[in-house]
Structure 1
């Protein structure tokens, strides 16, 4: 357990569950290095032919309630922004322009999901840049290199099979969702569970039927 290891964490600021998982990073082993990778959830959904939770009316309501419940259950400060879903592109680019550090990403997430601010309008985004101490972000997010980096992160996620956020990618395995945090920590502690006979069996089950 003493050896240093690295995992990639794919996230989009539009996801409340990404915020909730980020606030639990203290549960991760101190020997784990996490590389933060902002991606465009909409592009992942389009690639895999999926609808987002907010695009299905009943699921949208349940998703918001579940996120609120999980925040209360975990004791994490939480307040939804005034409208959701919102366009996360500029906040994602802002994280890249700020260097992609954990501190920068956390500040952006907390502005949106802890303090409940709107960030999609020009005024809201400018306020976000001010709040995170990077007012030049209003201009920086339009740089070609920043746009290309976000596209590259998203494309790389797709090549790994990432289909949603938040997702940890570690040692060839994907761990999707805030509710997979405990599973991810368990597998970091020991590979025995993934290597168990039953997990290997269910991971190789044949497809029984497909929708036409």
Structure 2
């Protein structure tokens, strides 16, 4: 049985941020490989009946804030509940992550993904801004200008769209979403189940 974790995520998701470092630690602890697959959450919502945050009922929005506060406290992770640059267009950041994966491999792309998530949820940065993305990429050891160029290519856009279509065809309806041996797990609060599965390998 495989120890590969397919990791479908959107870089602006607070729950992806809350689970990201723990996922990486589990992969190291149990010798698993992570396949990062940034996808267009808006397209998935359109196909699966999900709603962007601003269109959700007020009671759902209020409960979401309570849950984020609880998880932030529980995990000991800083998180601005209502960051300055939200909602934010995820496209540029997602394309940058696809390009990073193609050029440098999964591990460096995952490091950059963590930096982008922290930029949104901790550092009050705009991940739709090219200057911000270039700086974050350079902090993670990339040639920022070259990575931005790679992110803008048709090939990168096609890969991003392929990840999105794979998510839709695979029944994904939220982020983060993890798949091991065909078994889906939705949300960072399912990482306990993933750990149990990895322990059984």
Does TM, normalized by the shorter one, top 0.5? yes
Which residue of the partner structure matches residue 33 of structure 1? 33
- The verdict on how the C-alpha distance between 1:4 and 1:170 changes in structure 2, with shifts beyond 3 A counting, is closer
Which residue of the partner structure matches residue 188 of structure 1? 198
Which residue of the partner structure matches residue 114 of structure 1? 122
Unpaired segments ≥5 residues, structure 2: none
Q: Residue 98 of structure 1 aligns to a residue in which SS?
A: helix
Structure of greater relative contact order (alpha carbons < 8 Å, 6+ residues apart)? 2
- Work out whether 1:96 is the aligned partner of 2:106: no
Cα deviation for residue 138 of structure 1 reads 4.1
Aligned pairs for 1:3-18 (under 5 A) are 5-18=3-16
Cα deviation for residue 30 of structure 1 reads 2.6
Using structure 2 for the length normalisation, give the TM-score: 0.83
Q: Residue 76 of structure 1 aligns to a residue in which SS?
A: coil
- The verdict on how the C-alpha distance between 1:114 and 1:30 changes in structure 2, with shifts beyond 3 A counting, is farther
Larger Rg: 1
Farther-moved stretch of structure 1 (146-155 vs 103-112)? 103-112
In 2, the alpha carbon distance for the partners of 1:173 and 1:61 equals: 31
Cα deviation for residue 53 of structure 1 reads 4.1
In 2, the alpha carbon distance for the partners of 1:24 and 1:95 equals: 19
Does structure 2 conserve the Cα–Cα contact (< 8 Å) formed by 1:78 and 1:116? no
Question: Larger % of helix: which?
Answer: 2
Using structure 1 for the length normalisation, give the TM-score: 0.79
In 2, the alpha carbon distance for the partners of 1:54 and 1:181 equals: 27
In 1, the alpha carbon distance for the partners of 2:185 and 2:131 equals: 34
Which residue of the partner structure matches residue 144 of structure 2? 135
1:46-95: per-residue Cα shift (whole Å, max 9, x none)?
Answer: 11122234421422232233223211210113235314221101100011
Does structure 2 conserve the Cα–Cα contact (< 8 Å) formed by 1:53 and 1:63? no
Tell me how large the CA RMSD over aligned residues is.
2.1
Aligned length: 186
